[in-house]
Amino acid sequence: MKHARSTLPTPTSTNSFWHTEPNEFLLGHRTTADLPSQADIVIVGSGITGTSVARFLSEDDRAKGKSIVLLEAREACWGATGRNGGHCQPLLFTRGPEVAAFELKNVSAVSSYIKSASVPCEWRSVSGCMTLWRPEILSAVQRALSKLSHLAPDIATRVRLITDKDELRAHRVDPACLGATLTAGAGSLWPYKLVTHILESLVKGGKLNLQTSTPVTEISSSTTSATDKGVTHTLTTPRGAISTSTVILATNGYTSALLPSFADLIVPVRGSMSALFPPEGSTILPDSYGMVGALGQPATNDDYLIQRPFAGVPNPAGHLMFGGGRGAAALPTIGVSDDSVLDEGSAAYLRSTLLSVLELGGETEGLKELQPARHWTGIMGYSRDDRPWVGGVPGLKGVWLCGGYTGHGMPNGTLCGKAVVQMVLGEAEGLDGKELQEKLVEQRDLPRSYLISEERVRKARGLPTVEVQDRTGVLDL
């Protein structure tokens, strides 16, 4: 299968629970009535990555005085970050120690910012509980943990595998489960509230020009003269065009709509989410959860769960924020960039599954499924080599990319955004790009495997396509 380009974000979308308490200041917001015709830096996308880029630019003296415009196709934070599962959970044994260390650093950075800025986004420090439902999955995890213990014993101490039935019950896991990993250092949150808090602060502080409902339909590039190495990029929108020397794409699953060359490298995948009312009389779950291979689901299609508070917040109903169920989908998911459609197959799976895999407590006698407060869909960006793409786009000087999180953006996007800012501002100072990248890697500010290069593109294209990987899905941790 040759992956087609993503579409642009659809004008309308399914209604995410996270948008039930919208940021009134940002709804329909345009910092200037007209789209500026020029800016020093243009960011495309207002999720966790694009907003982090804007924030770190605002905090860096090298960007002082530069005009920064952020373009969003819909309302602020209306894409994946406003539709995800609310997890900020590092995966410590699936992608190697370098990535594990970076994700831990990222989660810490998010937590620190929330606390220092007093962001009311329901942040809760929890352990991540990944439940394992088939023997081959349990064996693969055991091998991965053994490998991690050898390569990075300090990180390995943060993960514990449990198989004892009483201990599983203590974490509210049904004892039919074969085992679970417990990972320290995870968090859950209302992601939309975090992102819109940052955006509102930047706009009100005069640090950012935010233009919502302004989709970019095309990027064209030209050199200013035969002797000038500078490149001008013109971003076309329905409201006019804006020109800049620096474009930062934080477009994740929608990337190939603007970068056709990435159509096979970052592929849109539609996921399903729900906000479910817990059983009457139940109490809050102790962890955030992942379910791998539960109820016949493919091992490559994780389900994921956090729980909202029962008290101390607006609308404190203890909603079970449960996502996944792609294996039960009635509609295609790979290569799909339309989040206006609800998949009833996945939705039905989400309503019923938690009653089988967890001990929710409360009044569950005779209960076949949980009552939904809301169902919705969102578009993820799956990377062909299972790593985000961060850096300059080959062959397009001044165009930078930060995306392709394969459903794992919250523990990556903040510091990936910071890293791309370091690259952009460093090169603007005249520093060597490769030396900048090496410094980021040495300082553990970005995993080497995330860096964009022509060599990485070639290697990725030697792998099976995202569709084939998802279909054949050999679990090799």
What would the pLDDT profile of 87-114 be if each residue is shown by its tens digit? Answer: 999 999 999 999 999 999 999 999 999 9
CA atoms of 353 and 327, how far apart (whole Å): 13
What is the pLDDT at residue 476? 46
Give the length of the chain. Answer: 477
Region at 176 (left for phi over 0; alpha for psi -120 to 50; beta for the rest): alpha
- Please state, in angstroms and rounded to a whole number, the distance separating the CA atoms of residues 256 and 265: 9
Cα 347 to Cα 251: distance, rounded to the nearest angstrom: 26
The pLDDT assigned to 471 comes to: 87
Q: What is the pLDDT of residue 2?
A: 62
Q: Which of 188, 189, 177 has the alpha carbon at shortest distance from 127?
A: 188
The predicted pLDDT at position 475 comes to: 46
Rounded to an integer, what distance in angstroms lies between the CA atom of residue 236 and that of residue 242? 7
Q: Quote the pLDDT of residue 296.
A: 86
Q: How far apart are CA 58 and CA 108, in angstroms?
A: 20
Read off the amino acid at residue 296: G
Q: What is the pLDDT of residue 402?
A: 98
Q: How far apart are CA 313 and CA 241, in angstroms?
A: 42
- CATH fold group of domain 123-186+267-383: D-Amino Acid Oxidase; Chain A, domain 2 (3.30.9)
Q: What is the DSSP letter of 397?
A: T
CATH 3.50.50.60 segments of the chain: 17-81+193-265+385-472
- Is this structure's pTM higher than 0.85? yes
Closest-CA residue to 7 (of 239, 435, 336): 336
Question: SS in 3 state form for the chain?
Answer: CCCCCCCCCCCCCCCCHHHCCCCCCCCCCECCCCCCCECCEEEECCCHHHHHHHHHHHCCHHHCCCCEEEECCCCCCCCHHHCCCCEECCCCCCCCHHHHHHHHHHHHHHHHHHHHCCCCCCCEEEEEEEEECCHHHHHHHHHHHHHHHHHCHHHHCCEEEECCHHHHHHCCECCCCCEEEEEEEEEECCHHHHHHHHHHHHHHCCCCEEECCCCCCEEEEEECCCCCCCEEEEEEECCEEEEECEEEECCHHHHHHCCHHHCCCEEEEEEEEEEECCCCCCCCCCCEEEEECHHHCCCCCCEEEEECCCCCCCCCCCCEEEECCHHHCCCCCECCCCCCCCCHHHHHHHHHHHHHHECCCCCCCCCCCCCEEEEEEEEEEEECCCCCEEEECCCCCCEEEEECCCCCCCCCHHHHHHHHHHHHHHHHCCCCHHHHHHHHHHCCCCCHHHECCHHHHHHHHCCCCHHHHHHHCCCCC
pLDDT value for 227:
47
Quote the pLDDT of residue 228. 52
Q: Where in the chain is the domain with CATH 3.30.9.10?
A: 123-186+267-383
Dist CA 1 CA 129 (whole Å): 35
- The CATH architecture of the domain made up of 17-81+193-265+385-472 is 3-Layer(bba) Sandwich (3.50)
CB atoms < 10 A from the CB of 440, how many?
24
Which parts of the chain register pLDDT below 50? 1, 227, 474-477
57 residue type, one letter? L
CB 466 within 8 A of CB 460: no
